[in-house]
Structure 1
Amino acid sequence: MSTFPHSHLFPGPSLTIVISGPHIQVLSTSTGDVLHTTAATKSGPIRCAAVDSSGRYLATSGEDKMLKVWEVEGLGLLSERELPKRPTAVRFTADAQTILASDKFGDVFSYPFHFTPPLTANQQKDALSSHENPSGGKLILGHASLLTAFLLTADEKYIITADRDEHIRVSWFPQGYNIEMYCLGHTKFVSAIHNPSFSPGDLISGGGDPVLKIWDWMTGKVKHEIEIWETVEPYVKVRGSRRRRGGEDGEEGNEGKRRGKGKKSKGKGKGKAKTEVDKETKEAEAVEETEDVVNDAEGSAAPEHSTDSDGDAEKVLVVRKIDTVTSGDSRYIVFNAVGATALFIAQYPEEGVVSGVRAFDLGQPVLDFVVADDGLIWVSLDGNWSESGLDSTAGEPRFIRVLDVLSGELVDRALDSPLLASLNAKCLLPAYAEDLKRLDLYGDLTSMPKNTSEGDQDQGGDTPLPSEGTPPEKPVNKKVLGRLKNKRAVLDKVQEIAEQRTSTPTGEDEARESDTKKAKSEHGDEPGHNTQDVVMGDE
């Protein structure tokens, strides 16, 4: 019988948390004993999880759209509240008093750690958000398409967000309506971003492009590019399949079938805001809501994904996670890709020198990895996978491996660790084939790329911007026009910001602008600050 793979792992000095499908287990790091578990509780798969900096609290959410806060010691449920849409990520602030959650409709909300249920069931819809918030969350910012990743800078003065439409945005935190900068240059979706602790002014991003980009995120300029696809491609063993039309809304089963007018009329609510926005841009937002769809939790099964032996299926690059690790005096970038059986490493570029990417093949698709405080890399694998099918029966599959960095190479650490042994034995929980299918481990191969099938040209990867007054060579539908106008609106806004910043101020004004940017969190949202007050969703 198959078992649930470990989707999230949080190793700590005394306690380790492992999440497998819908189940949470707390282990003793030293002995590997299972101290607490939710294995007896019936619930859907946990999609998002985060632990606060002290390791005392765990936040989880999944298909039930409930944000749950747990106390790790004893695994007691402290609170649960309903989210407006299914989340893509959750994160604690440094003081653990605020929880941030992003969702598939492009919004980021903040919630207080201590939850007080609302007195009335009916919550008034925020004019800036794309949907009602049943738990009174505070809207931080919004994108016009699926928000794929976000992070807070080390000083928590800025929030950096990425979406499926190639945008990376730097906004103030918590005043997310103030946009500081765009990092534009990706031609396909951005699915992973990372802000290195040893270089807080840098941002590493990756997604569907064949390169990782390293940015100076305050100026929006690319510092380095690292070619990765040539190294990654041979290890991509799970291939994407075409996204099916209909039944993929990513919400309740009956909502999953809504297309066209019903969905579009709902999206128009995003246009109500403090300033007037372009009518075509609002239509584009409605289209994005319709197209930002994934597998339905209850009403439809996850799409089938092919193995490497299926020559008809397409190999797709989706960078899942990016992190950094220090070994000796050297610094390295570590990343994985959806459906790839290897973990990848590259030396962090210094003085303009970019080294090549190296791979360590683990034989099974890498689901996740975490860099522990001691520099060891704990890698979660899909132990059920095999070249011939889903059930791996050859030998005893390992679901967790531990790697180390030695002379710029990833090496296997055969630890004599009770924790590692427990993760590969005692912590494995049985799962039926339909349970594994609901996990949708490789769903990003379908949901991230734009659909390029005939009749859906608007879902193509990089949509070119035609010059004004030049008709396209081929007929385009309204969805294509919506995307073009939405992208042009973003570029126009960036150009407007750049023109204002490059205008010739007096020496006194220039010094004041620099000082204001550095101290913005102290002064708040002042009238003289050189920022753009941007309507949510109007990118």
Structure 2
Amino acid sequence: MASLPYPALCFASSSARQLFASGAAIHIQDSSRLTSSSTASSSSGTNHQTGLIRHIAISGDETYAATLGDDKTLHVYSLTSSPPDLLSTRATIKRGSHVSFARNNDIIVSDKVGDVYSYPLHPPSQNTKGVRPSATELVSDPSKNPDATLLLGHVSVITAHVITPDGNHIITADRDEHIRVSRYPKSYIIERYLLGSDGFVSALHIPSSRSTLLLSAGGEPVIRIWDWTTGVQLGTIEIWSEVLPHRRVRSMMRKLKNPRKGVKLDPSESGDTGAFYIPPEGWLLPSGQGVCVKKIETVNFEDQEIILFFSEGCAALHAFALPSDLSMRPKIISLPLPYPVLDFTAIRTETGRLLLSLDTAWGALKHNQSVAEFGGRHAPPELSEDDVAGMSQSLVVVQVDREGQLSDITSASGSSLSPLLASLSVPSLLAPSTVIAGLGLYSDLSLLPRWPGFEEDELGDPEPSDSASVAQSGGGMKKVWSHEELKQMSLKQLGRLRAQGVDVGDLLGRQRKEHRTKAFYEPDAKEKGDTVEVIRDDAT
């Protein structure tokens, strides 16, 4: 069985270094000397982490790095030694969703439960911690965490956060369309909400030269531009026309044991771009069109600022020049790539130079499975030496100019790429092809969009009925249930649909009345809930 390097899953960069993580190891490249090192080559010969690293950050003074991974552990490294020296390890209560450094080098961690914490750079001594609360206590009351200070909480998954350039505010975003501006470090004081998003928000960015602006994006068709100091939306930039043609990875699907709830596409939206996101009959995909903007970054030229972004599971990088007049619609430039983009970062020693990571296993080891392939694991195909060599070339160098034009210059960048590719291929970091095929690299495509009919929303009040009920979900995707289909649904399901804007007529009121009557005459009777089998795509 072939062995392959883990892909570089996340990047961070400073004025002199590029830092990236592959598997459970971190790698660092000194841009000025074109040398690289890795935690996999530490003097102990062992790796400090045990889970896939998904988030990485460099401190403002460029001397520390922090990582979060699947092992629910915060690792802090010193970058002044080669390879990076592990300084501390602290358990996090829940799996992290984002990590960054504050001005004073405190480490800001947001998690997928909806909490944001501040960890000191160096953990307190054991003598000052006292008796550590149990895991159950920490989950029920995050403020008891002896390792960190609870800054704020949302009632939904926090997807991203950013500390403002003045260091006095923290901006957080979540799955439920919220963008919140809070004071920092007294983050219990909420300054304002930025209202208007029409879908989950998964990426935030403040351009360095225009510090009052905030760019946000996620699953909706636009990037929104805000003045975060006032809460005013200054403009939007339509992106779906450029993003949709480059989608490669789809979400997991849910198999409906009761196919009457299947999602139907409006016939007017059955073109080529829509076909990618049409589930088979009896199966369900989440709302939207499979777009999840993962990252927004800036490259500065003397008189122009270029915004770069990509969407999870898409095989393209996109760029546009940020206009001085935000009411103008800039042209988006797209660079198609052979594989889905995993992350990118700027090489700050060379203006306009970018380093990208691609999922080169996609297409050979992984794909969007057909219905027939669900329900079990399937052995990946045998790989030739040429296949293995090709999959090991997972890093790409791209040049962007002041107009936003993008060029792949990988073939001319061998001297800078060779040390990085060599560090990825350290024998101790290689894994069997079955492991690489099973890496979950696109979980946000399933986690963040709404699943129509299966969200835990409040029950709504009944409204007048129509012959059919339609919910709009973006990109022309319309979920259509006939009156007969709605009549067969349970009370809980009707309530969820109603809370999402579906007109269920007077059926909800009738169901409630029948349920109360049945409960009175049959106290032990319970409502039968929806039966749904969740089947995940083994490839992702």
Give, as a single letter, the amino acid of the residue that structure 2 aligns with 1:43.
T
- Equivalent position of 1:209 in the other structure: 220
**Are the counterparts in 2 of residues 45 and 438 from structure 1 also a CA contact under 8 Å?**
no
- Rounded to whole Å, the distance in 2 between the matches of 1:472 and 1:95 is 57
For residues 71 and 81 of structure 1, the distance between their equivalents in structure 2, rounded to whole angstroms, comes to 15
Matched, 1:381 2:378: no
Q: Conserved in 2, the CA contact under 8 Å of 1:81 and 1:135?
A: no
Q: What is the deviation of 1:244? A: 7.9
Q: Distance in 2 between matches of 1:62 and 1:483?
A: 35
Query: Unpaired segments of 5 or more residues in structure 2?
Result: 257-274, 368-379, 466-485, 502-540
Gaps of 5+ in 1: 246-306, 488-539
CA distance in 2, matches of 1:69, 1:168: 28
Alpha-carbon separation, structure 2, partners of 1:36 and 1:123: 35
Partner of 1:497: none
Q: Which amino acid aligns with 2:343?
A: D
- Alpha-carbon spacing, 1:50–1:382, altered in 2? closer, same or farther (3 Å): same
Residue 450 of structure 1 is matched in structure 2 by: 450
Tell me by how many angstroms 1:412 deviates. Answer: 2.0
- Please tell me whether residue 92 in structure 1 is matched to residue 90 in structure 2: no
Residue-by-residue CA offset, 1:278-298 (whole Å, 9 max, x unaligned): xxxxxxxxxxxxxxxxxxxxx
**How big is the shift at 1:222?**
1.3
- C-alpha offsets along residues 394-435 of structure 1, whole Å, 9 cap, x if unaligned? 562431112122233111234445331222344234222453
Deviation at residue 485 of structure 1 after TM alignment: 8.9
Question: Secondary structure in 2 aligned to 1:151?
Answer: strand
Aligned twin of 2:400: 405
Kept in 1, the 8 Å contact 2:29–2:420? The answer is no
Q: Which one of the candidate residues 170, 173, 190 is aligned to 1:162?
A: 173
Query: How many residues align structurally?
Result: 417
Q: Is the 8 A contact 1:320 1:336 kept in 2?
A: yes
Give the residue type in structure 2 aligned to 1:94.
R
Counterpart residue type for residue 419 of structure 1: S
5 Å matches for 1:145-294?
145-242=156-253
**8 Å contact kept, 1:3–1:384:** no
How far apart in 1 are the matches of 2:437 and 2:321?
Answer: 36
CA gap 1:129/1:362 in 2 versus in 1, 3 angstroms: same
Quote the offset at 1:215 in angstroms: 0.8
- Picking from 327, 333, 336, the partner of 1:361 is 336
Check 1:310–1:389 CA distance in 2 against 1; reply closer, same or farther (3 A cut).
farther
Take 2:364 and 2:434, find their aligned partners in 1: how far apart are those partners? 19
CA contact (8 A) 1:238 1:308 kept: no
Judge conservation of contact 1:82–1:135 (CA < 8 Å) in 2: no
Moved more, 76-85 or 469-478: 469-478
The one-letter amino acid of 2:331's match is: G
Q: Is 1:79 paired with 2:73?
A: no
- Report matched runs for 1:112-151 at 5 Å: 112-116=120-124, 117=126, 118-122=129-133, 131=142, 133-151=144-162
> Bigger shift: 421-430 or 104-113?
421-430
Deviates more, 1:415-424 or 1:345-354: 415-424
> C-alpha root-mean-square deviation of aligned residues, in Å?
3.4
Partners of 2:495 and 2:141 lie apart in 1 by 21
Rounded to whole Å, the distance in 1 between the matches of 2:132 and 2:456 is 39
| Rounded Cα–Cα distance in structure 2 between residues aligned with 1:19 and 1:156 | 27
Secondary structure of 2:431's aligned partner = coil
The counterpart of 2:37, out of the listed 35, 38, 51, is 35
* Partner SS state of residue 69, structure 1: strand
SS of 2:390's partner is coil
The structure with the largest alpha-carbon Rg is 2
User: Could you say if the C-alpha distance between residues 480 and 217 of structure 1 is closer, same or farther in structure 2, counting changes exceeding 3 Å?
Assistant: farther
Deviation of the 1:132 alpha carbon: 6.3
Alignment equivalent of 2:417, drawn from 391, 415, 420: 420
TM-score, structure 1 as length reference: 0.70
More moved, 176-185 vs 349-358: 349-358
> For residue 409 of structure 1, what is the amino acid of its counterpart?
Q
Counterpart Cα distance in 2 of 1:319 and 1:234: 14
Tell me the equivalent position of 2:111: 103
Q: Which residue of 2 aligns with 1:372?
A: 347
Deviation at residue 308 of structure 1 after TM alignment: 6.4
For 2:144 and 2:70, the matched residues in 1 are separated by 16
